[in-house]
Amino acid sequence: MTEHPEGIRQHRFVPPPGSTVVLLVRHGESMPEHPDRPHPLRDGHGDPELAPIGREQARRVGDRLAAEHHRGERIDAVYVTTLQRTHQTAAPLLAALSLEHVEVADLREVHLGEWEGEFRARVASGDPVFAEVLAQERWDVIPGAEPYDDFSARLRAGIGRIADAHPDERVVAVVHGGVIGHLLHLATGSRPFAFAAADNASITELVVHADGRWQVRRFNDTTHLPGPT
């Protein structure tokens, strides 16, 4: 704060020295799940490509972030996961900024065990296991799903890798809804599923301080997108 004759002014947030601003972008909408056309798998994870609406969402979020970059809110790197929907979502932004993506496997989506590739069908059918997932707010209620502690550890490692590489910088990480929800749970100490509703192509802002603390600055910003369809 700065002293003025009329008193002490308020100021906008400025990231503290040595910190890293990570803009977590959820990938665009992926292709519908159909029992006769199962999604391909990569390393055991469902790996659908973007639906046409998802490609449009990717263009819109890319346009917004590129415009911010050119106005002085610099983006120093763009991270993606191993899954193709994040690569496809990042592509318009990468082209606009003439950057190459950096892949960080630790930020891939939570592994859903026996439900990989059929999660939406299970939910739509009213599977009672999903009611228990919501009650306990744990993905590892699903048979064979990734344990809570393992998921937490790899997300911390992924964010730590990014922060270590980018002190005093601003980066984009195109990730997944379950990842964003869990990261904000870890950052805030909230209920595990308190932030489990990030929209496709939304922007969430996480500041990683030099001392390792995480600070949430923004969640589910979709002002660059049209209304629900």
Domain CATH code at residue 151: 3.40.50.1240
Residue 118 pLDDT: 85
Residue 228 lies in a domain: no
Specify whether the CB–CB gap between 169 and 20 falls below 8 A. yes
Residue 44 lies in a domain: yes
Residue 11 lies in a domain: no
pLDDT surpassing 80 at residue 37: no
What sign results for the dihedral spanned by CA atoms 42, 137, 119, 147?
Answer: positive
Residue 4 pLDDT: 65
Averaged pLDDT for residues 177-203: 97
Residue 229 pLDDT: 62
Among 39-43, 123-127, 185-189, the minimum mean pLDDT is found in: 39-43
Quote the percentage of the chain above a pLDDT of 90: 83
Round to whole Å and give the CA distance between 202 and 180: 10
Residue 227 lies in a domain: no
- Provide the CB-side half-sphere exposure for 99 (13 A, CA): 23
- Please, which pLDDT band fits residue 117 given cuts at 50, 70 and 90? confident
What residue numbers bound the domain in which 45 lies? Answer: 16-221
Round to whole Å and give the CA distance between 221 and 190: 19
Residue 102 lies in a domain: yes
Residue 70 lies in a domain: yes
Residue 207 lies in a domain: yes
Q: Is 38 or 51 the better-scoring residue by pLDDT?
A: 51
Averaged pLDDT for residues 12-39: 91
Among 201-205, 215-219, 224-228, the minimum mean pLDDT is found in: 224-228
131-137: Cβ within 8 A, 24+ apart: 134/193, 137/191, 137/192, 137/193
Domain count, the chain: 1
Q: How far is CA 123 from CA 24, 126, 216, in A?
A: 26, 5, 29
Residue 228 pLDDT: 74
Residue 156 lies in a domain: yes
- Please, which pLDDT band fits residue 3 given cuts at 50, 70 and 90? low
Question: Look-up: residue for tokens 């009213």?
Answer: 126
Quote the percentage of the chain above a pLDDT of 70: 98
Round to whole Å and give the CA distance between 217 and 220: 11
Residue 161 pLDDT: 98
Tokens of 80: 């993606």
pLDDT surpassing 60 at residue 1: no
- Please, which pLDDT band fits residue 22 given cuts at 50, 70 and 90? very high
Among 27-36, 122-131, 140-149, 193-202, the minimum mean pLDDT is found in: 27-36
Query: Where do the DSSP E strands lie in the chain?
Result: 3-4, 7-8, 20-26, 41-42, 45-46, 77-80, 102-103, 169-175, 203-208, 214-221
Spatial neighbors of 161 by CB under 8 A, at least 6 apart, are 104, 106
Tell me the CA end-to-end span of the chain in Å, nearest whole number. Answer: 44
Q: Which amino acid is at 85?
A: R
